[in-house]
Amino acid sequence: MSAADIDLNDTEAFVTGDPHALWARLRAEDPVHWNPTTEGGFWALTKFDDVVMAFRDTETFSSEHGTVIGGSFRNEADTASGRMLVTSDAQRHRQLRRRMHRVFSAKMIERVTETVRERVAVAMDRMWTDGGGDFATDVARELPAGGLMAQLDIGHADALHLLRLTRTMIGYRDEDHTLGIAHEGLRLATAQADVFDFFLDLIAERRARPGDDAVSILLRPEPGERELDEDTLLFNLMNLAIGGNETTQHSASGGLLALMNDPAQWERLRADQKLVGTGLEEFVRWTSTASYVQRQVTKPVVVRGVLLAEGDSVTLWTASANRDEDQFPDPNRFDLGRTPNRHVGFASGPHHCIGAAMGRTALAALLQGLRERPGRLVPAGPTVRLRSNFMLEYKSVPVEVTAV
């Protein structure tokens, strides 16, 4: 198969194959790659410099068409266009970002950090007592669960329920998340509606009894501001639930797999507290859980000699950019002490992830927990990956505790 024949919309490579091998081939032979689909096609940028350029040039590469391939059912434009932070540009993006910044205050980050540490500690204590378990569901899931509990002021059971809903939405192409619906687009729309229903109930509660949680904060405009309309509120709450919360869980699982494959790195972590800080950045670079984002070309532009036309769909493959040989020395080596580490795991430019600080605190809690406990974790069976080319997730990571 030539590089021109690589299909990044085929989820099989993301379940049973090695997408990094495909991206390496594209970086070397076809860095501005045309990927045809039944609906038309999209361009794929796989080099670090090109991905960063497109992230930062929001006038040429617009977010308003939607960030996921095929993400809007029966609509040419994404239904969240201009309503959700990640699907807005220019002035509208700045307005929404100011509103969302209040949800990520220092006080909220402190609350999230404390809750995540508590949830991760309980889960890891249980795993060490039991001698093992499924890291993806028993430990890693507690990172987003703790974050949602703190941000939304909900209980553990409600946080896990919301995570199941968002997982179904992200994994709408996976055999475990069909909802009994054959058509993928309708399945995605149904899963999104279920997430909205969860938040509609929560919004009603907070209108009656406001507090200092994310929903109450977004419901409460400051002087000179208008109240967010219901659709805008729902889309941004959904983005809050899926964004950093969903990705940290799978950065944790993917990073742990890398640690288990290189026990020397685990010993380095145990011996050096500073590796918690550099190590969490390497977890993000290595896993690049959100593998791409979509953009739409607003005017003709040439990238590496290739003309991209107005209206073309372009995908920015951050997972590929984070393994670019021209940016990272020995990029396929997992190194907890890697510095510098200028990854794009949290995107770049105006759309740099607003929840990056919370994601970092969650991963720091995990790494701290791993370095403090005796022994380490080793694989106890095959892992199972989610069928998705958008979110590089693990559904199952069986492990056991060893004293060595």
Question: Encoding tokens for residue 140?
Answer: 């890693």
What are the pLDDT digits (tens) for 120-138?
999 999 999 999 999 999 9
Residue 195 CB partners (closer than 8 Å, separation 6+): 162, 165, 166, 169, 238, 241
Q: What is the mean pLDDT of the chain?
A: 93
Residue 316 CB partners (closer than 8 Å, separation 6+): 45, 50, 51, 54, 55, 61, 292, 293, 294, 295
Which of 237, 232, 71 is CA-nearest to residue 151?
Answer: 237
Residue 229 exposure: Cα atoms within 13 Å on the Cβ side = 6
Question: For residue 81, what pLDDT is reported?
Answer: 76
Q: How many helices (DSSP H) and strands (DSSP E) are in the chain?
A: 15, 12
- At residue 173, the 3 state secondary structure works out as coil
Mean pLDDT, range 148-171, rounded to an integer: 93
C-beta separation of 321 from 42 below 8 A: no
| CA gap 108, 87 in Å, rounded | 24
CATH number of 3-402: 1.10.630.10
pLDDT band at 170 (very low <50, low <70, confident <90, very high): confident
Mean pLDDT, range 166-176, rounded to an integer: 88
Please give the DSSP secondary-structure letter assigned to residue 227: P
User: Is the pLDDT confidence value at 184 over 90?
Assistant: no
What are the pLDDT digits (tens) for 15-48?
999 999 999 999 999 999 999 998 899 999 999 9
Please give the DSSP secondary-structure letter assigned to residue 324: -
pLDDT band at 66 (very low <50, low <70, confident <90, very high): confident
The burial of 193, by beta-carbon neighbours within 10 Å (0-12 exposed, 13-18 middle, 19 or more buried), is given as: exposed
Proportion of the chain above pLDDT 70, given as a percent: 97
Residue ranges per domain, the chain? 3-402
What are the pLDDT digits (tens) for 302-355?
999 999 999 999 999 999 999 999 999 999 999 999 999 999 999 999 999 988
Mean pLDDT, range 252-277, rounded to an integer: 96
Question: Encoding tokens for residue 59?
Answer: 């006038």
Within 300-381, strands assigned E span: 301-303, 306-308, 313-316, 376-379
What are the pLDDT digits (tens) for 207-238?
999 999 999 999 999 888 899 999 999 999 99
User: Is the pLDDT confidence value at 73 over 50?
Assistant: no
Proportion of the chain above pLDDT 90, given as a percent: 78
Q: Within 262-341, where are the H helices?
A: 263-271, 275-287, 318-321
Residue 398 CB coordination number (10 Å): 17
Question: For residue 245, what pLDDT is reported?
Answer: 63
pLDDT band at 115 (very low <50, low <70, confident <90, very high): very high
pLDDT band at 75 (very low <50, low <70, confident <90, very high): very low
Which of 354, 361, 344, 376 is CA-nearest to residue 277?
Answer: 361
With residue 133 as reference, give the H or E element that holds it.
strand 132-134
| CA gap 193, 189 in Å, rounded | 6
User: Is the pLDDT confidence value at 143 over 90?
Assistant: yes
